[in-house]
Structure 1
Amino acid sequence: MIIRPRRGNIPSVNIRKQKGVALILAIMIVALVTAISVDITWRFELTLARSANRWHGMQARAYIDGAEQLAKFALRADAEMDNSEDGTLADYFDEDWNQEQMFSTDEGGWISGNVDDALSLFNINSLMEQLPDPENKILGICDKYAPAHRRFIRLLRTVNLATGTISGAERDWLFRSEPRDKKIREPGDDGDDDEGSTSYYNANDEEYMTLDDAEALTEAVIDWLDADDDPTGFNGAEGEYYDRLDPPLTIANGPMASVSELQVIKGMIPEVYNALVDYIIALPPEPAGELGLNLNTLTYPVMRTIAPGPTCLEPMTIEDTDVLVDAVRRNAFIDMTEFKDDLDVKGLMAFSGTAPLEGEGEGDFKFRSNYFLLYSEAMVGEHLRKGSSLLFRQEDGDTYRVDTLRRTDAHF
């Protein structure tokens, strides 16, 4: 006989166990659904953020391209206006192309752009100029270098190794209606109300590059650029030197594509490179007459190099440079004759006992430019994009055209 338990006789402990398992399963299902929902929400929001950033980036890029087109228009208009007035093309700081522009956008952002003269900087590729005395056996310490080499040595002599800066940079505001770098100290920043006082370094902070070191570095740069394998002077460095490095490097034996190449050249140290980088540029080789230095727009440190100071390889003194800068800012010369006839220039050269730029490669100096630098920024949403373009202006029949040679986020 089979005895079946009554329903009411089922142990209550089994019922409680079943209810506990069901509760755990329910909690696990809720947790799983919640986790899946959170993951889906996070991925959806991430996709939206990526799409917004991509859209803002594309919009900012379009604004940067628009700024480039506007700069080209301004440069063409400037050349055509000069040509229509008297046929003389001159470029200087107070012209429309050099005025910084800033506009608001419909998205609540902004776009800004500033055009600078590339010929206001020292062209490092100008050191490819042939040395008058490659063997260094006949000529003296000055005559063994070409004018471009002497200018670079003078520029190196202004590098303050103690501060990693370049002497004269703080006075660049004298040359421009606005400071070239907003971080450059202006008169009065040190608490001195005297407008003529712009002392930037303390006497204890001055440790300038020696003449021997400046010559050695110049010779190493010359060897990086020239096509031969013969070391220049006593401190040059050709392929054999760079082959022994770890890791080895391949020497360019040609023009630099960017001044950043200077960082690997024998004798270059970060303090010198960081001081120089804002005042030098690597322009592509062009036919004679296209390159040079625009006396109307030279940066202050480069202006100090165009003529000798106390000795032929020393930069001009601050006092003499101020005279030239004041003359250029006041007149904006159109040719060398007008420059030499200026009373301040005549007075300065008469005091020093030399003719203006005599023996310093007079043909290297211009009063117009073909190369320009565009620095632009665009903000859309929270996306900030910056752009730098190297522009080249040239005649095109009866008018002018401006081409983009390079775009980079680094140094030209």
Structure 2
Amino acid sequence: MISRLDVPAYRAELIAESLWEFIDEDRSVQTRLGREDSEYLARSVPFYAANQPLADISEMRVVQGMDDGLYQKLKPLVCALPMTRQQININTLDVTQSVLLEALFDPWLSPVQARALLQQRPAKGWEDVDQFLAQPLLADVDERTKKQLKTVLSVDSNYFWLRSDITVNEIELTMNSLIVRMGPQHFSVLWHQTGESE
């Protein structure tokens, strides 16, 4: 996906592999370009790689090869959730996030086709992933790929980001909350963050 954001192939690979090394459980380099503790301990403010899933997307800012410009491009495309299974809700993807579909359906979906697919979404969303995968723009995608993507794509969500702008006695406050659906009518707040998200 990074290479689709006008990032040269080498740098995209460096960032992707370094991010993998940053969150994997061990402290040894398993990829060709990835970086581990030795890279981060040599910085002016040393630190260890997380070696666990990201708690917040802002942690990506320290990954080898990342800069603020690319981070700002990636920020609306990624999230950090307390789960190991990747899941993308095709009913909540915005047209500006079509690059996610491009990356998932590479080489079958062009940027124009990915945007068109999201623009053609039914008003109430797709009923299920099969209905989405049956769209004419995805007709050339092989069945093996469609089967694999069925484990990644979804038409509903269990995690929700809530941004609240609050004014109390002329004092303005922004609060962000991560909420998880625990059951049909049961939601729980996982955490709150006061102030703007980076």
TM band (smaller chain):
0.7 to 0.9
Tell me how far 1:262 sits from its aligned partner: 1.0
- SS of alignment partner, residue 172 of structure 2: strand
Alignment of 1:239-388 (within 5 A): 239-285=37-83, 292-308=87-103, 312=107, 316-330=109-123, 332-341=125-134, 345=135, 347-350=136-139, 353-355=140-142, 358=146, 361-388=149-176
Letter in 2 for 1:322: R
Letter in 2 for 1:318: P
Tell me how far 1:260 sits from its aligned partner: 1.1
Higher strand share: 2
For the residues of structure 2 that align with 1:400 and 1:318, how far apart are their CA atoms? 38
The percent of aligned pairs where both chains have the same amino acid is: 22
- Which structure is higher in RCO with an 8 Å CA cutoff and minimum separation 6? 1
For the residues of structure 1 that align with 2:103 and 2:165, how far apart are their CA atoms? 39
For the residues of structure 2 that align with 1:259 and 1:299, how far apart are their CA atoms? 19
For the residues of structure 1 that align with 2:138 and 2:11, how far apart are their CA atoms? 29
Q: 1:360 to 1:274 in 2, by over 3 A?
A: same
Alignment of 1:90-129 (within 5 A): none
Which TM-score applies when normalising by structure 1?
0.44
Aligned to 2:27: 229
Tell me how far 1:246 sits from its aligned partner: 2.0
Letter in 2 for 1:294: N
The answer to whether residue 35 in structure 2 is matched with residue 157 in structure 1 is no
For the residues of structure 2 that align with 1:293 and 1:305, how far apart are their CA atoms? 9
- SS of alignment partner, residue 31 of structure 2: coil
Bigger Rg, which one: 1
- SS of alignment partner, residue 322 of structure 1: helix
Q: 1:302 to 1:362 in 2, by over 3 A?
A: farther
Letter in 1 for 2:28: D
Give the alignment partner of residue 187 of structure 2, picking from 402, 409, 412. Answer: 402
For the residues of structure 2 that align with 1:394 and 1:360, how far apart are their CA atoms? 26
Letter in 1 for 2:62: V
For the residues of structure 2 that align with 1:300 and 1:209, how far apart are their CA atoms? 20
Aligned residue pairs: how many? 196
Tell me how far 1:247 sits from its aligned partner: 2.4
Higher helix share: 1
For the residues of structure 2 that align with 1:246 and 1:209, how far apart are their CA atoms? 26
Q: 1:410 to 1:359 in 2, by over 3 A?
A: farther
Letter in 2 for 1:224: F
For the residues of structure 2 that align with 1:303 and 1:216, how far apart are their CA atoms? 23
Which TM-score applies when normalising by structure 2?
0.85
The ranges of structure 1 where at least 4 consecutive aligned residues each deviate by more than 3 angstroms after the TM superposition are 307-312
Q: Which runs of 5+ in 1 are unaligned?
A: 1-153, 160-207
Letter in 2 for 1:324: L
Q: 1:303 to 1:355 in 2, by over 3 A?
A: farther
**Aligned partners of 1:258 and 1:411 also within 8 Å:** no
**Aligned partners of 1:220 and 1:232 also within 8 Å:** no
Give me the CA root mean square deviation.
2.6
For the residues of structure 1 that align with 2:151 and 2:119, how far apart are their CA atoms? 22
For the residues of structure 1 that align with 2:4 and 2:169, how far apart are their CA atoms? 43
Aligned to 1:390: 178
